[in-house]
Amino acid sequence: MIELFVSTFVTFFVVIDPPGCAPIFAGLTSGTSAAHRRGMAIRAVLYASGILLVFALFGENFLRALGVSLDAFRIAGGIMLFLIALDMVFEKRTERREERAAKVKETAEAEDISVFPMAIPMIAGPGSIASAMLLIGKSEGWVEGAVVLAALGSILLLTLVALLASGPMMRLLGHKLEAMITRLLGVILAALAAQFVIDGIRESFA
């Protein structure tokens, strides 16, 4: 069981990539209050946890019932993520942030990225959803299934810690360096989104 936990833990760590999610989260939430950022981090992980749990237990039947393939999900997620990346590169979010500054103080939903793109597709993306479904599907008995879910829960907890620590770390870098990193991460995010689309198209014709 220890070997199963370790192998599952490593699989989810590579797919979800908590250290990689943290700077992207910091770039997307730059300029928001600490409380608002903390709330979005907690909600993002909670939403992603619920999504991954549902897909792990019922995902294959759910997608089949809807007539949707995982490749179609991967392509759609990649396109939406690419639009977010463009905003990061050209700093359109900064302009909108100034206009919404007052609204952010009044309501936490004014600029909430906890559902998209953080929960979906950054944390609960096609890779992590597919991994959850496959690993649970290969489990023999409820004990192995519980071990897989425990490994997934550990990674999600690690992701939450990484998101909560991202804000203070980015603030230490300063505004100019933060803006440069945000644009660089936008390019990386665009490449990741393009890879989602490429993988979806390639697998659909495989």
Q: What tens digit of pLDDT does each residue of 99-114 get? A: 544 454 455 444 688 9
Average pLDDT along the chain: 82
Amino acid at the residue 179 = A
The pLDDT value recorded for residue 175 is 61
The pLDDT value recorded for residue 158 is 95
The pLDDT value recorded for residue 153 is 97
- How far apart CA 144 and CA 41 sit, in angstroms, is 29
Contact (CB, 8 A) for 54 and 132: no
pLDDT band at 90 (very low <50, low <70, confident <90, very high): confident
- How far apart CA 145 and CA 168 sit, in angstroms, is 37
Specify the number of domains making up the chain.
1
The pLDDT value recorded for residue 101 is 43
- Can you give the pTM of this predicted structure? 0.72
The pLDDT value recorded for residue 111 is 64
Q: Which domain holds residue 17?
A: 2-205
Average pLDDT over residues 145-150: 95
pLDDT band at 96 (very low <50, low <70, confident <90, very high): low
Amino acid at the residue 170 = M
What's phi and psi for 140, nearest 5 deg? -110, 100
pLDDT band at 170 (very low <50, low <70, confident <90, very high): low
Percent above pLDDT 70 for the chain: 84
Output the DSSP codes for 73-108: HHHHHHHHHHHHHHHHHTTHHHHHHHHTHHHHHH-G
The pLDDT value recorded for residue 145 is 92
Q: Which of 8, 196, 56 is nearest to 117 (CA)?
A: 196
